[in-house]
Chain A
């Protein structure tokens, strides 16, 4: 049953007419005949308590990091500190209108400026834009900047190189900006294949997009050669920063040779994922690309104490957000970075430790396609259990109160489980997760039927996705009559 189904008259929560100026009626106000009015507003009227009960009930059917380990690979589901929620809800920030004059928004502008400075220090990039609302929009902005940059240079470049282990957003972004995608396969160690890269690179390649560490959970070992070759051809090097949780204080993407990168503030800097957003997709660039960043840009005045919005950049690609980006997310990320300070290197070191420890615990239960030490995440294959085994194992994990990892990604590993434990999980939790996976692997051998129908303990069983796509039911409709 949805809230709409519960529609009953009466019990109204809000009636501003009565509360404020109840004596004035619509007709007397002259709204009628002023513009085409709607004759029916089919929304339910329910009481506040009904609403609270309904959504409390729904929340109990949902699993979050607060419920237990949530090891989705490449999603960095770490603990979300609660104090940051309080900070984002301070009236002095939550109540700020984006058109408040900069002189009256100094605190908000300082938050943005401070965050930009911290991200520059962490990544080695020279300038940041905080406008992108999520990683994929950061990528899009990066590719738009590359397109404009080459247009300014009078060069027509048509291709973007992307390894076959990349997130789907990379090729989708390239296509949105009308570039042709060239896929380079991975080598036997899980790196981008150097021979393949040599064949693909050329003077018509605008950008090489690399996720580092890549989605197999490995630091790219040939970055130096890739950088050298890219420079030779004038190609820009883009870092998809989805896996930055493996590099805080360990290595700076700019020093690895990247010209641009986006960060996912909701991954690396612990802002809550919200069931699928909001996120934050800050884009960092080296100085030669800075003038292309979107406007307005947050700047510090010469005095060093006041901040302003600067709209005056002739070469800027324009704008990608209605205002300045997901400010509330920036605020949480800044609070998180400040809480760690220079010790933030502990985050990545522990993420590496946890991932390698967990990999050691479960490598006996599954196949490990690339036998290397991993960074902050790793990929195993369940192919020894046959087709659909990764799906079945994932669903069975729900029965044991665990959120499944990312499944069937990266595409180059058959029956893939992509596991990212993050630094905030304890040794006990990792031991328990490994124990459950070993138990399920054993079930797979002894009693595979039980996995076919999993999960068995949830309020609802395995849902028919094929039926969902064939017989589309995408909304509630009011009953006729």
Chain B
């Protein structure tokens, strides 16, 4: 395919206008020239489709009982139709507000939804993903409290912990094993990696007594439809992964990091923030605001280096929440909860002991009677992705509204076969 519109005549007219014989002359002599790239012959659109489809066919399509930060919730058809509209898809960061009211208003709505769901005061306009959003929250807490370490409650997604360690090493922040007077923030994930729902009140109070911020990290935010919002339980910062809201799993990305804070921390937020304002005639409109926090103005004193974020995914999430509404989102949460508990009971009677302590949402950890890998392999042969093997004998299983009762029966039957 050739995406260049020029005819040969145009090229020679343009070269003449510039005063060159060849395009080569536009490259200064100091630039070391590359040999012709070895990238194969160009492909037509038809060939590209055939090539990419052949790669897609090498992936196994399965019914999904895995979670661990990526959730198989149903995606309403309408979302794709809207986000594919070129006015949204092919725009960039709305620096020119008057030509970008559509995306700006959608982001304002997104910020509103995130605040309503989390019970927080202010949200930014998205971050990359759940893991880096948590790392950014820690940088925020460090900058706000001037303390240099962080305490992580058990139950954090191990990949998130790894990302946090990487960011902390870069920023000279330490991961502490106690809540001491150098702890900038205390992190608690809920539902935790093993699915358990924790009441954050106790940990939030402990953090606050110590002068630390309390960060609540949300893995599957459909849980917020039924859980008490972290803002009501004392969270100072809520971060999480918004992929559950109408975004395909897509082998783990792009996904949607979100972050909301209480109002005292507004000016410490990383990334874009949209605000409402007026034009000269008093008409309401939307702009990027509080830009003095950002790298392109503040440079080395910016709150973060983030620039491009995940706007189109924030738009997907916004449309998802608008489509489902109060009733639909509660229904997704209740059904996911119920399915997970049903499967947990089915497995329990077949010798899979549940290890997740206390109440859980839509994920639970079981001890397997046989090696977890064998069970996953058997399920895979029946077209089921049976979960995540946490180690040899432990399996993390997830249900959403998409998992049907017959599929759960197949799961339980096959998983317990010798």
**A439 interfacial contact with B, CB 8 Å:** no
B366 CB to closest chain A CB (Å) equals 16
**A37 interfacial contact with B, CB 8 Å:** yes
A276 touches B309 (CB 8 A): yes
User: With a CB–CB cut-off of 8 A, which chain A residues contact B277?
Assistant: 463-465, 467-468, 471, 473
Q: Kindly identify which residue among B15, B59, B139, B312 contacts A274, using a CB–CB cutoff of 8 Å.
A: B312
Q: Which of B296-323 contact A (CB under 8 A)?
A: 296-302, 304-313, 315, 318-319, 321-323
A326 CB to closest chain B CB (Å) equals 4
A277 touches B311 (CB 8 A): yes
User: With a CB–CB cut-off of 8 A, which chain A residues contact B226?
Assistant: 31, 37-38
Once the chains are docked, how many angstroms separate the CA of A474 from the CA of B277? 10
**B325 interfacial contact with A, CB 8 Å:** yes
Q: Which of A294-323 contact B (CB under 8 A)?
A: 294, 317-323
A343 touches B42 (CB 8 A): yes
B308 touches A423 (CB 8 A): no
Once the chains are docked, how many angstroms separate the CA of A274 from the CA of B170? 29
B87 touches A338 (CB 8 A): no
Q: A107-B55, A275-B93 are in contact. Are A323 and B69 (CB under 8 A)?
A: yes
B59 touches A100 (CB 8 A): yes
**A350 interfacial contact with B, CB 8 Å:** yes
Q: Kindly identify which residue among B2, B59, B132, B326 contacts A321, using a CB–CB cutoff of 8 Å.
A: B132
A275 touches B251 (CB 8 A): no
The residue in chain B whose Cβ has the minimal distance to the Cβ of A395 is: B98
**A51 interfacial contact with B, CB 8 Å:** yes
The residue in chain A whose Cβ has the minimal distance to the Cβ of B331 is: A16
Most buried by B among A37, A43, A427: A43
Most buried by A among B27, B131, B227: B27
Binary A-proximity of B235-248 (CB < 8 A = 1, otherwise 0): 00000010000001
B6 touches A169 (CB 8 A): no
**B128 interfacial contact with A, CB 8 Å:** yes
Once the chains are docked, how many angstroms separate the CA of A146 from the CA of B412? 49
**A188 interfacial contact with B, CB 8 Å:** no
**A81 interfacial contact with B, CB 8 Å:** yes
B87 touches A55 (CB 8 A): no
User: With a CB–CB cut-off of 8 A, which chain B residues contact A147?
Assistant: 169-170
Most buried by A among B226, B229, B275, B286: B275
**A412 interfacial contact with B, CB 8 Å:** no
Chain A interface: which of B103-111, B178-186, B207-215, B348-356?
Answer: B103-111
Q: Kindly identify which residue among A38, A59, A81, A122 contacts B1, using a CB–CB cutoff of 8 Å.
A: A81
User: With a CB–CB cut-off of 8 A, which chain A residues contact B341?
Assistant: 29
Binary B-proximity of A323-346 (CB < 8 A = 1, otherwise 0): 111111101001101111111111
Range of interface residues on B (Cβ < 8 Å): 35 or more
A13 touches B325 (CB 8 A): yes
The residue in chain B whose Cβ has the minimal distance to the Cβ of A347 is: B4
B43 touches A339 (CB 8 A): yes
A318 touches B337 (CB 8 A): no
The residue in chain A whose Cβ has the minimal distance to the Cβ of B11 is: A353
B90 touches A65 (CB 8 A): yes
Q: A110-B55, A469-B275 are in contact. Are A353 and B3 (CB under 8 A)?
A: no
Once the chains are docked, how many angstroms separate the CA of A248 from the CA of B274? 36
Q: Which of A448-481 contact B (CB under 8 A)?
A: 453, 455, 458-465, 467-469, 471-478
Once the chains are docked, how many angstroms separate the CA of A460 from the CA of B42? 45
Once the chains are docked, how many angstroms separate the CA of A277 from the CA of B39? 27
User: With a CB–CB cut-off of 8 A, which chain B residues contact A13?
Assistant: 76, 323-325, 328
Once the chains are docked, how many angstroms separate the CA of A128 from the CA of B375? 35
B102 touches A58 (CB 8 A): yes
A459 CB to closest chain B CB (Å) equals 7
Q: Kindly identify which residue among A62, A85, A167, A404 contacts B91, using a CB–CB cutoff of 8 Å.
A: A62
A52 CB to closest chain B CB (Å) equals 6
Binary A-proximity of B76-91 (CB < 8 A = 1, otherwise 0): 1010111011111111
User: With a CB–CB cut-off of 8 A, which chain A residues contact B32?
Assistant: 251-252, 255-256
User: With a CB–CB cut-off of 8 A, which chain B residues contact A21?
Assistant: 335, 338, 405
B229 CB to closest chain A CB (Å) equals 6
Binary B-proximity of A9-25 (CB < 8 A = 1, otherwise 0): 00011111100110010
**A229 interfacial contact with B, CB 8 Å:** no
Once the chains are docked, how many angstroms separate the CA of A85 from the CA of B102? 21
**B289 interfacial contact with A, CB 8 Å:** yes
Q: Kindly identify which residue among A124, A136, A334, A338 contacts B305, using a CB–CB cutoff of 8 Å.
A: A136
Q: Kindly identify which residue among B1, B308, B322 contacts A279, using a CB–CB cutoff of 8 Å.
A: B308
User: With a CB–CB cut-off of 8 A, which chain A residues contact B100?
Assistant: 61-63, 275
Once the chains are docked, how many angstroms separate the CA of A178 from the CA of B91? 34
**B287 interfacial contact with A, CB 8 Å:** yes
Binary A-proximity of B46-70 (CB < 8 A = 1, otherwise 0): 0111011101111111101010111
Q: A62-B103, A105-B59, A426-B6 are in contact. Are A475 and B123 (CB under 8 A)?
A: yes
Q: Which of A44-64 contact B (CB under 8 A)?
A: 44-46, 48, 51-52, 54-56, 58-64
Binary B-proximity of A352-365 (CB < 8 A = 1, otherwise 0): 11101100110000
Most buried by A among B64, B96, B253, B302: B253
**B34 interfacial contact with A, CB 8 Å:** yes
User: With a CB–CB cut-off of 8 A, which chain B residues contact A100?
Assistant: 59-60, 62, 66, 251, 385
**B194 interfacial contact with A, CB 8 Å:** no
Q: Kindly identify which residue among B27, B70, B307, B318 contacts A219, using a CB–CB cutoff of 8 Å.
A: B27
User: With a CB–CB cut-off of 8 A, which chain B residues contact A337?
Assistant: 39
Q: Kindly identify which residue among B76, B98, B162, B289 contacts A318, using a CB–CB cutoff of 8 Å.
A: B162
What are 13 inter-chain pairs, A to B, with CB distance below 8 A? A14-B328, A26-B334, A31-B334, A97-B385, A105-B60, A176-B305, A339-B44, A343-B42, A357-B14, A427-B10, A455-B99, A474-B108, A474-B274
9 A-B pairs besides A43-B326, A72-B95, A124-B34 with CB distance below 8 A are: A31-B226, A52-B81, A222-B30, A273-B308, A277-B311, A319-B131, A344-B39, A373-B26, A474-B275
Q: Which 4 A-B pairs have the closest CB atoms?
A: A323-B252, A66-B86, A92-B56, A274-B312
